Amino acid sequence: MALERKDGVKDQTQTTGTGTVTIDLAAPVGYRSMAAHTSGATVRYRIGLGSEWEIGEGIWTSGKNTLTRATVYASSNVGSLVDFSAGIKSVITTATAADFGGSGGTPGGSVGQFQYNNAGAFDGANLYVEDANTIAQRNGVTAQNQYIYNTRTDASNYERFSIGWASNTATISTEKSGTGASRSITISPLGSLTLTTPSGTSGITALGSRGNTFLSLDGGVNTAFTSGWSLGGKVGDYEAGGSSGRLTVVMSNAFRAPNMDIDKDNPALACTVKAGNATAKSGATNIVGAGLVIAGGDGSSAASGAAHGGPVSIAGGRAYGTGTDAALNLAYTGSAARGAVKCWGPLTLASSLALPLSAKTADYTVTANDGTLTADSTSAAITFTLEAASGHNRIHAFVKVAGGNTVTIDGNASETIDGSASITLTDRVVLQSNGTNWVRIA
């Protein structure tokens, strides 16, 4: 049975020798006898007669009224069982040094170390008072962790918050096991929230629920979210909130959109950059949505070479199996389909528009990546076969620059050009798809 303590217990025994003690159940006035203890309980005792004394731990048995001496903490026999002589000896149950941290009441562990109950004895925990304002958890070179439980049935069924180290990386996470459920973490500061990494480090990486990176900022990146912001909702969704909210990402070096596990049935939710919507405000004259600016960085002075401003490239992803881009730009090869880039609303250009220009001297099949095609039929007749017109409204221009042989533009399969299966190019023509066939627009 567990250790039991009772106040005001004092009795006597006339037992001699080193064996089990029989208690007389003769408590002095003002005290309780040993019968106050539960039969089978472990008690801590002191037995004494003159110069003979013993302090230890034993088992009380009611009915027999015996105290079985089990462990001796200290005694007049140098810490061993005392061979008591004849006479009436006092018996009391009392606190011993073992109740205060070991022999002599000295705590276990080192200076500044927290104490804990280790199977009935004091021991040192891995918590230390390092100074007046710091509590540390440490154990040499062994990584440490702390758990705060939401629920815990047993060691195999729980929900908990974890903070600690794993593979030399500091981690904050929620964990579960058995019947435990997956739980979220919310950070809600009343003031601003700042995430800082030293320049030259691997920076800040955010992972989605499947372990895919949806936000990766290199060290030295300054990301500012002003007037409210949210990060979440959709994988890779960044949305500034409020009528004056804005999302600004200023990058000191190259940045490439991270890989994501995209829902094939809803690719539009993959990655969105959106300025905040307008919010009604009493007394306001103009209530407009927040603007969104995407701009390359300015050039800087250089010891040698160019100091151009940084370009801006917007491109749909490559079709599976067509290779990878060495850089995020618009110089692509191959004919595999690429995700479309669309502009919804009027498009204003502050400079001239540059389209792909290719020179041809032989038969050629037009692709979605072509813009203007020139034909030199000096050596032989040339036939341009148009790409399929379905599903888009692309524009292609054709110019005959030289040659006396015939240049023909042929519709794809049964598709037509202004109602004809093909046309002859004598000078120049601009064709646009109407989604079914091709029409001449210039």
pLDDT digits (tens, 9 = 90+) for 92-118: 998 887 776 554 445 666 788 887 777
Decide if 296 is inside a domain.
no
Do residues 14 and 95 share a domain? yes
Q: Judge if 35 and 113 occupy the same domain.
A: no
Same domain, 118 and 84: no
In percent, the amount of the chain with pLDDT more than 90 equals 52
Most confidently predicted of 268-282, 323-337, 353-367:
353-367
How far apart CA 77 and CA 166 sit, in angstroms, is 53
CB neighbours of 424 closer than 8 A, spacing ≥ 6? 406, 407, 408, 409
Last residue of a domain, one of 137, 158, 185: 137
Same domain for 40 and 115, yes or no, is no
Examine the pLDDT at 228 and tell me if it is beyond 60. Answer: no
Long-range contacts of 409-414 (CB under 8 A, 24+ apart): 409/383, 409/384, 410/383, 410/384, 410/385, 410/386, 411/386, 411/437, 411/438, 412/385, 412/386, 412/387, 412/388, 413/388
Question: Whole-structure pTM over 0.75, yes or no?
Answer: no
Does a structural domain hold residue 150? Answer: no
Query: pLDDT per residue over 25-69, tens digit each?
Result: 999 999 999 999 999 999 999 999 999 999 999 999 999 999 999
Residue 77: domain span = 10-100
Question: Which region holds residue 227: left if phi is over 0, alpha if psi is between -120 and 50, else beta?
Answer: left
Distances (CA, A) of 80 to 45, 70, 103, 167, 420: 14, 11, 15, 50, 117
Let me know whether 65 and 37 are in one domain. yes
Quote the number of domains for the chain. 4
Chain mean position to CA 411 = 53
Alpha-carbon span 315 to 319, nearest angstrom: 12
* One domain for residues 111 and 94: no
> Which pLDDT score, from 0 to 100, does residue 116 have?
77
Any domain includes 329? no
Both 119 and 51 in one domain: the answer is no
pLDDT for residue 263: 40
265-279, 299-313, 320-334: the lowest-pLDDT one: 320-334
Domain assignment present for 323: no
Asked if the structure places residue 396 within a domain, the reply is yes
Q: Is residue 111 part of a domain?
A: yes
Pair 261, 200 in one domain: yes
Higher pLDDT, 143 or 346: 143
Give residue-wise pLDDT tens across range 344-375.
667 788 788 888 999 999 999 999 889 999 99
Residues 15 and 93 in one domain: yes
More confident residue, 161 or 350: 161
pLDDT at position 97 is 77
Rounded CA separation 11/188 (Å): 62
